Amino acid sequence: MFYRLREKGLILTGIIALFLGLTAITAHAADAELGKEDKACLSCHDKEGLSKTLESGEQLSLQISTKAYEASMHLGTSCEDCHSDLDAKTHGKEKKSIKSKREFSTSMRESCRTCHKKKFIEYDDSVHAALIKEGSKKAPMCSDCHNPHTVRSAKILQPIDQVPCAKCHEEIFKAYAKDVHGQERIAKGISAPLCAGCHQAHAVKAASLGTGVKDACLACHKNAVEKHQDWLPNTARHFEAISCPACHAPDAQRRVNLRLYDGVAKKQVSEKTGVPQFERLTDAADSKDMGLDERALWSLLKDFNRDGVDSKTVLRGRLEVRSGVEAHQLSEKSKAIKDCNTCHKEGAAPFQSVTLTIAGPDGRPLRHGIQKEVLSSLTSMESVRGFYAIGSTRIKLLDTLLVMVVLGAICVPLGHMTVKRMFKSVREKLEAERAAARTEAANPSAPSAKSPSDDATK
Ligand code: HEC
Ligand code: HEC
Ligand code: HEC
Ligand code: HEC
Ligand code: HEC
Ligand code: HEC
Ligand code: HEC
Ligand code: HEC
Ligand code: HEC
């Protein structure tokens, strides 16, 4: 056919070539066509309204559009490559019972593995796969994000609301679509990240775990560190201690998150599957649900340190936004938080809400409230390991020094350095004193053999 058309003239050839060129990019139509068996399947299955009722009462549509299949990346793949378990003799004649849509998807789950091993391995290591292992009925499998019969190339730009993440993370999607990246994406196309640009598509990890998301930001915004250094002293420290949205989503509510951190293995402590230690210990230590106080926190840390000489559990503080939606309300740079007083002022709002987290078995944080006074108490300073935003609490000596640092930062960079060094040595001294005080204070009540509830409830 192609040959005959070419005889009709160059222009037509041009058009055809262009057409084929386009479809080759989008559909591989040039080098594949439907096999005989596939056509046979479709002779029954491309019928409007073909569906079946599942045991759950759900309707499963059985219609497969030939046109969409031909336009899909799987045109060269035969139905039976994935549906190898159908019995040709009885299929379509006898009713087969299927429990639910989810059950059916699960039964088909492995079918992608043979041809997409790499993606499968990445996916297996994701928070979504972990959720499924825990029994989640809602976390996605391959076919929740890719319809195997209509899948198009990932390179095709679709309207952003077609991103598969949107249907399950609806509220986050709505926030994202209005923020700097969503708006940029709508206006200009691919340069700004969609969900997978910050979270990955397959190896999606719990967002607050590790530094994956932050690294993604910095990989695109290569000059971000320099740009902040112009005005923000010790930028590296601030970037470690503050999540990017905590400054870039200016209307968000912020809080302090104290994360359990293994100082030896150098990573966040995670709850072992099947041994839900965290909830048991925190609930016991906080029976009135008022938030853990200083002593309870202290004895909890001891409990975590008890098993295993190697582990050294400490707390790593971080300032972050309070909800997933707020993490996706990034605005343009002129609106970002620049005022040092937002954080470095006594009673600063972000320090009024404090939580303690451990990474759950799937990586998502398990939380427990902490009384905010913990941050300004000298004895807990050691366990809070340096997370102390000067000025935000009641420790006056440090506050005074902050004022000098801030002045230094604005007026005399040289002076600033000196004050910073001074600040550091005073801080180290304070910490040493505190450590001593703490050992004294903690020893008499050494609670190692007692259950945490005994000594922690006030
Ligand atoms: C003669 C018509 C016909 C042909 C040909 C046919 N199907 Fe079906 N198919 C049906 C009907 C009818 C059902 C619903 C059966 C039921 O209600 O249990 C069905 C159900 C299905 C289901 C849902 C799961 C299940 O087992 O009920 C899948 C998947 C499926 N067909 C795939 C295929 C594939 C792949 C081919 C080609 C190899 C094919 N079908 C060929 C008629 C057909
Ligand atoms: C790349 C693998 C793959 C190929 C190729 C494939 N299917 Fe499927 N099919 C699946 C998976 C996976 C499901 C389950 C989808 C889900 O989880 O809802 C499915 C589901 C179905 C269903 C049930 C309705 C639905 O959409 O869930 C029918 C009918 C079906 N396929 C028919 C076909 C026919 C006919 C062909 C060939 C023209 C074909 N399939 C090719 C993987 C494939
Ligand atoms: C028999 C082999 C085979 C199986 C099984 C298979 N695929 Fe594919 N898949 C392919 C081929 C071939 C392509 C086209 C790849 C290309 O040309 O880059 C493809 C392409 C894709 C693409 C688009 C890639 C892109 O470039 O954007 C996605 C997404 C995809 N497959 C998902 C799935 C899912 C989900 C399943 C399981 C339901 C599955 N595949 C099962 C062979 C297979
Ligand atoms: C949570 C949604 C989600 C799940 C689950 C998912 N994918 Fe994807 N996949 C995506 C997105 C989004 C893309 C777009 C490409 C990107 O941004 O990396 C993609 C891209 C792809 C591609 C093309 C990638 C490329 O680099 O050309 C293939 C192939 C693919 N997925 C296969 C699979 C297979 C197989 C599974 C199951 C193991 C799977 N996907 C599970 C969302 C998902
Ligand atoms: C510009 C990068 C970026 C993009 C694009 C992005 N996210 Fe996020 N996402 C983040 C950050 C940052 C966090 C908070 C991480 C933290 O706690 O440090 C987050 C957190 C999350 C969380 C965890 C929320 C919670 O309850 O703690 C989910 C779920 C999520 N994102 C899904 C999505 C989805 C779905 C999209 C697309 C609509 C998306 N993200 C787009 C950066 C991004
Ligand atoms: C089929 C539904 C579904 C789809 C599609 C889906 N997710 Fe999820 N996802 C979930 C569920 C359920 C959870 C666990 C509950 C929660 O945290 O929201 C989850 C959890 C997450 C988390 C961990 C949340 C945390 O606290 O850190 C991130 C990050 C995430 N998803 C990102 C994505 C991204 C990115 C995509 C698209 C590439 C996507 N999801 C697509 C259902 C889905
Ligand atoms: C302490 C608050 C704060 C933190 C934390 C912070 N930023 Fe900023 N950022 C700002 C402010 C304020 C500006 C605008 C500076 C100005 O006026 O030029 C800005 C500017 C930017 C810009 C625009 C740079 C330019 O001028 O081109 C980018 C991109 C950016 N930040 C990314 C990030 C990333 C990524 C992170 C996390 C690693 C982060 N920021 C953490 C406050 C912060
Ligand atoms: C895939 C690349 C990419 C990733 C990943 C990414 N951004 Fe962006 N970002 C862009 C682009 C493109 C723009 C719009 C153009 C511009 O202003 O630089 C933008 C704009 C911004 C702006 C507005 C800058 C201004 O001039 O007003 C801020 C702030 C910002 N991003 C912060 C972040 C943060 C925080 C993260 C991580 C949570 C992140 N970005 C991740 C590409 C990215
Ligand atoms: C969004 C909150 C926030 C803003 C805005 C902020 N900081 Fe900080 N800053 C912190 C936190 C939290 C720490 C504690 C870091 C730690 O102890 O790990 C800190 C630490 C510091 C330190 C001590 C760093 C060190 O070497 O240990 C100095 C100095 C400082 N900030 C100065 C400033 C100045 C000057 C500004 C304004 C230009 C500013 N900060 C803006 C939250 C903030």
* CA–CA distance, 119 with 122 (Å, rounded to integer): 5
Do 310 and 410 belong to one domain? yes
| CA dist list (Å): 160 to 150, 157, 188, 238 | 18, 8, 12, 32
Q: Is the pLDDT of residue 446 over 60?
A: no
* CA–CA distance, 193 with 199 (Å, rounded to integer): 10
Query: Ligand 3: does its nearest atom lie under 6 Å from the Cβ of 81?
Result: yes
Do 141 and 238 belong to one domain? no
Domain count, the chain: 2
Do 261 and 125 belong to one domain? no
320 CA distance to ligand 2 middle (Å): 43
pTM for the model stands at: 0.88
| Phi, psi torsion values for 228, nearest 5 degrees | -80, -35
Q: Is the pLDDT of residue 306 over 80?
A: no
178 CA distance to ligand 4 middle (Å): 24
Do 291 and 387 belong to one domain? yes
User: Which of these, 411, 409, 12, 108, lies nearest to 231 by C-alpha position?
Assistant: 409
- Note whether residue 45 is domain-resident: no
List, for residues 48-92, the tens digit of each pLDDT value: 999 999 999 999 999 999 999 999 999 999 999 999 989 888 998
Q: According to the model, what pLDDT value does residue 442 have?
A: 47
* CA–CA distance, 80 with 215 (Å, rounded to integer): 42
How buried is 310 (Cβ within 10 angstroms: 0-12 exposed, 13-18 middle, 19+ buried)? exposed
**Which of 108, 110, 202, 204 has most ligand 4 atoms within 8 Å of CB, for mutation?**
202
206 CA distance to ligand 6 middle (Å): 8
Whether the Cβ atoms of residue 329 and residue 252 lie closer than 8 Å to each other: yes
At which of 174, 204, 234 does a domain end? 204
Nearest CA to ligand 6 atom 34: 165
List, for residues 113-134, the tens digit of each pLDDT value: 999 999 999 999 999 999 999 9
Q: Is the pLDDT of residue 227 over 70?
A: yes
Do 417 and 369 belong to one domain? yes
- Note whether residue 140 is domain-resident: yes
Do 197 and 225 belong to one domain? no
Range of the domain at 264: 221-456
* Mean pLDDT to the nearest integer, 273-293: 86
- Note whether residue 443 is domain-resident: yes
- Note whether residue 253 is domain-resident: yes
Do 248 and 168 belong to one domain? no
Query: Ligand 5: does its nearest atom lie under 6 Å from the Cβ of 328?
Result: yes
**Closest approach atom of ligand 8 to CA 184:** 14
- Note whether residue 57 is domain-resident: no
- Note whether residue 342 is domain-resident: yes
108 CA distance to ligand 6 middle (Å): 21
- Note whether residue 170 is domain-resident: yes
- Note whether residue 142 is domain-resident: yes
Label residue 439 by pLDDT band (50, 70, 90): low
